[in-house]
Structure 1
């Protein structure tokens, strides 16, 4: 499976060049240009590594690093920044950054550092904490253990998981799961939610009375 990289960088030229080199090494790269978007991406998706610039708009890369360590302590993180002072480097390593790279940097050297970290850490799927979704494999995991879900249950969970701030109506969930092929009562969603709740190791699905369902981030 291709490794997924969250790349936080607000300088377009650096973003474009380094992302292109990562893709050439068959990494799947998700680009964001400010810290808020980085955290939103982390809340919605699973990444094997984050490469973070520090001086970015809205929320700094160091704050994103702190968020990662609280929520995903085993995720690999490289700080990529023009700040080469000792104080900033110490702060990053105190938050358990795996590496600290000062710009400008050769794309080849950055890729080699990424490879080194991936050789050193265990595969993320064996250590990822909490609930996460493998879209390509149609599989949900909790603390690295696969959950035994039907396809409909997986698609329902995936839909809620990917947009945790959104409340979905039953009709919207039917369209996500069955497209337009389903003919029948929309209460089929209630049955799937009931079965899914029995299989999940926490209360991850919130009922919004009069509307539908929403993903609960803290199960």
Structure 2
């Protein structure tokens, strides 16, 4: 059973969302503050963490940093009422897989969780990467590979790379990339794409993303 760590200090919100997760078949461990969540991470293994940012004790962002240090493969969704761009950029720079603004529909949250978990836990089939050389994309598994080895991309990073990869002749504006990654849920400056591109370039063995000055970004084939 999929193990979820759910950090939320509002009892009513925590109870409602946790119940929806349980109905979906997840095993949910609840925490009311960041210190409790950090202690649980020391004693338990989880597949995903859903973290409110503004909580007593350690903040959700501090818990995220702890997860990335000790459990780098764990999926993480940040859940917060904060809509400011700076907070969202901090979350994505810390390699959060997704960022959901409250109030959120429980159904939408469950779909986001399902999408991320499909990438992190549902693609263990033996033909990962297909044995091919260079960059390959497993669309249904939400995973990119280089020389058959999985790349540690967040969901947003994968969606950005895949959007560029599938139309290599096209130059995408930042606005078009935001729509492809977040649909219409994102509130903030389009420079969030620059942060994702910066992180992608650190993780990719070669620079597959070309900056087109004054327009946006384009996929470029590897040079071998």
1:99-110 equivalences under 5 Å are 99-110=98-109
What are the ranges of 5 or more consecutive residues in structure 2 without an aligned counterpart? 126-224
Match of 2:39 in 1: 40
Write the mapping of 1:1-219 to structure 2, written as runs, cut at 5 A.
2-122=1-121
Q: Which structure has the bigger radius of gyration?
A: 1
Stretches of 4+ moved more than 4 A in 1?
Answer: 123-126
| Other structure's SS at 2:53 match | coil
Q: Over residues 80-121 of structure 1, what are the superposed CA-to-partner deviations in whole Å (9 max), with x where a residue is unaligned?
A: 000111000000000000000000000000000000001122
Q: Provide the rounded CA distance (Å) in 2 between the counterparts of 1:18 and 1:123.
A: 23
Distance 2:98 2:67 in 1: 15
Query: For the residues of structure 1 that align with 2:45 and 2:12, how far apart are their CA atoms?
Result: 26
RMSD value over aligned CA atoms?
Answer: 1.7
Note closer, same or farther for the CA distance 1:12–1:125 as it changes in structure 2 (3 Å cut): farther
Q: Distance in 2 between matches of 1:50 and 1:101?
A: 13
The TM-score with structure 1 as length reference comes to 0.55
CA contact (8 A) 1:75 1:124 kept: no
8 Å CA contact 1:6, 1:38 repeated in 2:
yes
Q: Please give the alpha-carbon distance, in whole angstroms, between the structure 2 residues aligned to 1:106 and 1:117.
A: 17
Shift of 1:122: 3.8
Kindly state the Cα deviation for residue 123 of structure 1 after the two structures are TM-superposed. 5.3
8 Å Cα contact 1:48-1:124 kept in structure 2:
no
- Give structure 1 stretches of 5+ with no counterpart: 127-219
**Hey, what's the Cα distance between the residues in 1 that align with 2:6 and 2:110?**
13
Q: How far apart are the structure 2 equivalents of 1:38 and 1:28?
A: 15
